Structure 1
Amino acid sequence: MNAELRKQVDAMMTYIRDLAPEVIVRFTGVIYEDEDANLEVYPPLSWDEDRCLDLQHRIAQHGVDVLMETGYLILVSVRTWEQQIAKAKHERTKADKVLQRASALGLLQPA
């Protein structure tokens, strides 16, 4: 990532945090096709879908402005509570499999 893109990504993250200080913003590092960067936003689980969609809409409008001004396409996904829980369950399943393999190899210390 070049310095100018990094500056734009940092500015987008700051913009999002200014809109909603209680959210967590993560740079994914994953790039698909024509975009330059991807961010994921994790609002509190207490947020309903409408609030998530409102934030997504506001971020998307700003993203269009960034694209028009700089040429950088920074995509942002706001994760609903349902998506956050599904991701956490998936990650837990993966972690459980690693721990099972480690246990089978005798790599885990007794608690």
Structure 2
Amino acid sequence: MASILLVWLINALSVYATSSLLAGISIKSFGSALLVAIVLGLINAIIKPILVFFSIPFIIVTLGLFLLVINALMLQLAAAVVDGFVVESFGWAVLGSLVISLVSWMLSALLNI
């Protein structure tokens, strides 16, 4: 249970840090970042596998780069659901998904999760 809460906190910190680093992504408060982390987790658990399944030919042809598009779409969907979280364009969503992944990876490696 503690590891789930730690992963949730790491994801929220990643979202909050990304909004500080990128001008095209803004978040109202850390509480909103916690909510975005929950929504992104649910979206990635429910909707993303369906999109990945139906886009396997595109993923193969682009050697996996199409997954960036899917991740950006998931981030924009989270922005549409959560008040106080704004992603200005698809380009910012692609860059934001990359930064969120990198920050989350670094924090997880730092904490040995």
TM-score normalised by structure 1 residue count? 0.38
Structure number, greater radius of gyration: 1
User: Per residue, is there more helix in 1 or in 2?
Assistant: 2
